[in-house]
Structure 1
């Protein structure tokens, strides 16, 4: 809110988020940070909903940090939440953690809203240049400070990486300039595009390769506004997740991408030992019976391990494996590929056998086998278990009933 006027674009950015419980700050990356609202260490759905309501109130009503801090304290007192933080006293610890939650969400929603405004065709025609504006922090990131005053065309690819915020606590901004304002700065045209010097690195959670940039925190090398408006989820489908019991297949969905042709050998031989199918599932993730994590196409973390195929008693003892149950072992490699390269990822609610309500992540993919058969593959993952289903019914009318809840990812094309 500025001068008492709600910043509607920033409000819309927050209001369209999906609540995603997380244990660590890097459980979500890039697109998942834009699509999802999370607070590291908050895994209870009700608690996360309370934090989201407090955050949205701060953005919508402009109530400021002090009011958010009161809401933060009330949630902690009510739930007994034990959170990670810095500080020697309880007051310092609460102030630090509340500030991180508040600042991160206010800055990302503000900059997403700014991007929406600045890329309006009428604004771009009159103000085709963007100037990087450093926050003026007392202890600046040197690279951010070196970009201060740099003017680039709004269409310069560098903004895909360096559009702020560029890290935790980054308060940098972008100002749009007209031709006249550019010349008033003594410039006859935009500055040379910066050499952002990308380098190869490894995701510390998953071991997957990732690209890093100097001066930009891990997980922040993306344009929050561009991802919001034209990223992995079409804007018209960026809807919050309805409450439990109210989710239903969405109407007027665009068709799924064309089926992918699979190479020979993706359907495994029948009547093999369970371990054969388990190994075939784990191999694409670089695992051999051990536990690991995989960052999916939406930017979220999914747990991958042999335990997915184990049936246990109430004490946690393994009773048997179930890799070949219902003949699905033959499709173990297809299940793995569906997680690695889905057509769509959806989030909705599921009820466990014990009656608990949990979030369910569904990976959907249409494929054509080497013999010409069409297969629809669905892999559902929750913290309480998983379900993998393959079927020959690949009709849109059948698939539509599984396209429900909130869309997290859609493969282009």
Structure 2
């Protein structure tokens, strides 16, 4: 797949990712890979950063696997992330670097390809599954070779390649004229069978389509566009009048996409607009406040009593708070009593000052409020 021309969408997919050290390869699942870059067994951020930089460089330059390995191997060896650890865990190795290189290369191109598919689906409304058809091709994938289905067929939500480690399958976007000229026919979405697979790290059992490796039964292109769209919405809101942005946010958190974000957090979502008091306290350039997938997941774990309707109140808490305390130079806590409940919402500004994110959201007891007001600077 290496070549000198790299579509801008390929690099944009990689460059938009945030780095996240993880212990197990299942710590990130499905669409989370559209938002984060990780290396399993990498507990230190500098290892993830080193690998990420070399992956981006290799794909941007169209470098071969050999060149990628030659550049990265001495870096990882110098930092001690090579061979087997004392507990027997495999760290860096030629095989691992091949998997990292191959997976990122193929998923990046697959995400970029899906963007192009969506742009062209009016004139080319079908996708044809294509295998390499050699001795390395998986038998399960071979049976899908030549299958033609509409772009929006549900089959592609789980079977859009790559469908496993080192899977070389692709899709070919075709028109009705292409189908007629080649004597092809549009098929029907196959009835797939499923197998149980246990995540050994968590004990959770998932149902995986037969023929697809665990973790690959999703469409990386759909996940990428979902994350990208949410980020674009937030960016547009930052550029308009705050009052108009606040009205838009109130509508957005009641739409289907926010419900999807709540159930399956990916990317970040605009959930509120701060007033000038908060903006000045944080020395922020923007007024829009966003909720990230990582914060939402942590919040759902630590505060399971909150429902989606509670999260829809975030903008109300930020715009009409009863208590406002600046607890650090970069963060404030807003509290609003609604229906006898004290909603506590903490937000922070990023280092550059151009973005505001929530850090925690929960119901607070009176004793917590008393402690808050002795902790920081009372703004209201």
Coarse TM-score class (shorter-chain normalised): 0.5 to 0.7
RMSD: 4.3
Instruction: Indicate the residue corresponding to 2:42 in structure 1.
Output: 42
2:24 aligned with 1:28: no
Residue deviations 1:345-373, cap 9 Å, x none? xxxxxxxxxxxxxxxxxxx9x9997x453
Q: Distance in 2 between matches of 1:192 and 1:341?
A: 40
Q: Distance in 2 between matches of 1:30 and 1:238?
A: 23
Residues 234-313 of structure 1 aligned to structure 2 (within 5 Å):
234-236=230-232, 255=249, 258=253, 297-298=264-265
8 A Cα contact 1:339 1:379, kept in partner: no
User: Which structure is higher in helix share?
Assistant: 2
Aligned residue among 329, 335, 358 for 2:303: 335
TM-score (normalizing by structure 2): 0.63
8 A Cα contact 2:343 2:361, kept in partner: no
SS of the aligned residue for 1:157 comes to coil
Residue deviations 1:174-220, cap 9 Å, x none? 00111111012323x51111112345655443344533211111111
Residue deviations 1:228-272, cap 9 Å, x none? 002597242799xxxxxxxxxx8778737659xxxxxxxxxxxxx
Q: Distance in 1 between matches of 2:234 and 2:131?
A: 31
Residue deviations 1:150-186, cap 9 Å, x none? 1111111110010001111111100011111101232
Q: Distance in 1 between matches of 2:110 and 2:13?
A: 10
SS of the aligned residue for 1:119 comes to helix
Compared CA separation, residues 334 and 6, structure 1 to 2 (3 A): closer
Residue deviations 1:300-332, cap 9 Å, x none? 9xxxxxxxxxxxxxxxxxxxxxxxxxxxxxx99
8 A Cα contact 1:132 1:149, kept in partner: yes
Aligned residue among 341, 347, 353 for 1:373: 341
Compared CA separation, residues 219 and 155, structure 1 to 2 (3 A): same
Q: Distance in 1 between matches of 2:205 and 2:337?
A: 29
8 A Cα contact 1:129 1:151, kept in partner: yes
Compared CA separation, residues 80 and 195, structure 1 to 2 (3 A): same
8 A Cα contact 2:199 2:205, kept in partner: yes
8 A Cα contact 2:300 2:306, kept in partner: no
Q: Distance in 2 between matches of 1:181 and 1:61?
A: 33
Residue deviations 1:270-319, cap 9 Å, x none? xxxxxxxxxxxxxxxxxxxxxxxxxx94489xxxxxxxxxxxxxxxxxxx
Instruction: Indicate the residue corresponding to 1:161 in structure 2.
Output: 158
SS of the aligned residue for 1:69 comes to helix
2:207 aligned with 1:211: yes
Aligned length: 287
Residues 3-402 of structure 1 aligned to structure 2 (within 5 Å):
4-83=4-83, 94-120=93-119, 123-187=120-184, 189-198=185-194, 203-208=199-204, 210-231=206-227, 234-236=230-232, 255=249, 258=253, 297-298=264-265, 335-337=303-305, 371=339, 373=341, 375-376=343-344, 390-391=363-364
Q: Distance in 2 between matches of 1:209 and 1:96?
A: 28
TM-score (normalizing by structure 1): 0.59
8 A Cα contact 1:228 1:235, kept in partner: no
Q: Distance in 1 between matches of 2:165 and 2:301?
A: 39
SS of the aligned residue for 2:128 comes to strand
Compared CA separation, residues 83 and 176, structure 1 to 2 (3 A): same
Kindly indicate whether structure 1 or structure 2 has the higher relative contact order, using CA contacts under 8 Å at least 6 residues apart. Answer: 1
Q: Distance in 2 between matches of 1:237 and 1:18?
A: 19
Structure 2 portions without partners, runs of 5+? 255-262, 268-298, 313-332, 349-358, 366-380
Compared CA separation, residues 134 and 335, structure 1 to 2 (3 A): same
Does 229-238 or 204-213 show the bigger shift?
Answer: 229-238
8 A Cα contact 1:135 1:170, kept in partner: no
8 A Cα contact 2:344 2:361, kept in partner: no
